[in-house]
């Protein structure tokens, strides 16, 4: 394929909050959300052309960031509008969930094959053939959706809702570092509270909850990167990004285990394919358990350090 026939992944400008701006914080956040959402449209052609799964991934990351920032600043806006927007954006993203999951599995194909003996590779190949087929069906469905009038109407409605997001509580007051710290502090406390509760008996669900909070705090800290020296939390965006990444990898393996179990329930429990998947499940569960204990040790160390800071 010629280079001219492929789309380049859009380069995103960082819409960092300008601390010297005279605009109220609510209006700055609304402007940020509008720009972020408008950027989603730049990924659509790449998703439709389907040369690189990163287009869909970044489209979804952008939507998640919008929801996280909206949630973080919900006290600045009309609560009914905020909930409507969060639900609309969630629904928009959920339609692509399966395609993204299948992309992740297919990108790990080589790793999966390396986990089991060569004599079981034929059974695993049949499994991946099935995933490829499912992925193609899901992609065609999403492609049709993205090119439809219904999608464009939904997208434009969300853009309009963001444009008219109503600021409350004296929206004309200029923004200041005190109000920003006040917004970030409760989320910071939740992260620290969750980390202090982590121990060797921690359930996967607790780590999942921590991952969600770390992600939201990271997005908030990244938004205010230009004034990071004035943020009084003691936790940096870099630290949250690192922890979120490790928690995300752990969560991915948990999702893979659930997916493989569900897959086996729908197919014969005998045969080469089932044998290969059962062997793969054993390896992934083993890795998942080992990674969990390592992750817990790192979180406990983080909690001790953060508490003593």
Pick the CATH number of 176-309 from 3.30.750.24, 1.40.20.10, 1.10.10.10, 1.20.120.350: 1.40.20.10
Neighbours of 188 (CB within 10 A): 21
The full DSSP string for 226-256 is GGGGG--SS--HHHHHHHHHHHHHHHHHHHH
For the chain, the domains span 15-173, 176-309
Cα–Cα distances in angstroms (integers) from residue 126 to residues 109, 114, 198, in the given order: 12, 16, 40
pLDDT tens series, the chain, 309 aa: 444 456 788 876 665 666 666 778 888 899 999 999 999 999 999 999 999 999 999 999 999 999 999 999 999 999 999 999 999 999 999 999 999 999 999 999 999 999 999 999 999 999 999 999 999 999 999 999 999 999 999 999 999 999 999 988 665 566 678 888 888 999 999 999 999 999 999 999 999 999 999 999 999 999 988 888 888 888 888 999 999 999 999 999 999 999 999 998 887 667 899 999 999 999 999 999 999 999 999 999 998 888 766
- Are 15-173 and 176-309 in the same CATH fold? yes
Query: What is the dotted CATH code of the domain comprising 15-173?
Result: 1.40.20.10
How many CA atoms lie less than 13 Å away from 240 in the CB half-sphere? 22
């Amino acid at each position: 394929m010629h280079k001219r026939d492929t789309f380049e992944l859009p380069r995103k400008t960082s819409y960092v909050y300008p601390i010297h701006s005279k605009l109220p914080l609510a209006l700055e956040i609304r402007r940020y959300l509008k720009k972020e959402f408008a950027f989603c449209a730049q990924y659509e052609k790449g998703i439709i052309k389907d040369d690189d799964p990163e287009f869909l991934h970044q489209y979804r990351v952008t939507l998640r960031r919008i929801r996280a920032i909206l949630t973080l600043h919900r006290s600045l806006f009309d609560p009914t509008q905020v909930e409507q927007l969060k639900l609309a954006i969630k629904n928009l993203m959920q339609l692509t969930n399966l395609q993204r999951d299948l992309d992740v599995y297919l990108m790990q194909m080589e790793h999966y094959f390396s986990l089991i003996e060569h004599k079981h590779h034929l059974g695993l190949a049949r499994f991946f053939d099935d995933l490829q087929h499912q992925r193609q069906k899901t992609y065609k469905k999403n492609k049709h959706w993205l090119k439809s009038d219904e999608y464009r109407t939904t997208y434009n409605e969300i853009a309009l809702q963001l444009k008219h997001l109503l600021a409350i509580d004296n929206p004309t007051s200029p923004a200041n570092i005190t109000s920003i710290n006040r917004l970030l502090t409760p989320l910071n406390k939740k992260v620290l509270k969750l980390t202090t509760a982590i121990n060797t008996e921690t359930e996967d669900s607790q780590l999942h909850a921590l991952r969600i909070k770390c992600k939201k705090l990271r997005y908030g800290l990244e938004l205010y990167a230009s004034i990071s020296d004035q943020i009084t939390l003691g936790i940096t965006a870099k630290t949250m990004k690192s922890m979120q990444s490790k928690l995300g990898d752990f969560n991915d393996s948990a999702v893979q285990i659930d997916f493989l179990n569900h897959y086996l329930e729908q197919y014969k429990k005998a045969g080469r394919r089932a044998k290969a998947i059962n062997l793969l499940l054993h390896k992934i569960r083993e890795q998942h358990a080992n990674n969990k204990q390592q992750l817990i040790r790192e979180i406990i160390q983080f909690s001790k350090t953060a508490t003593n800071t």
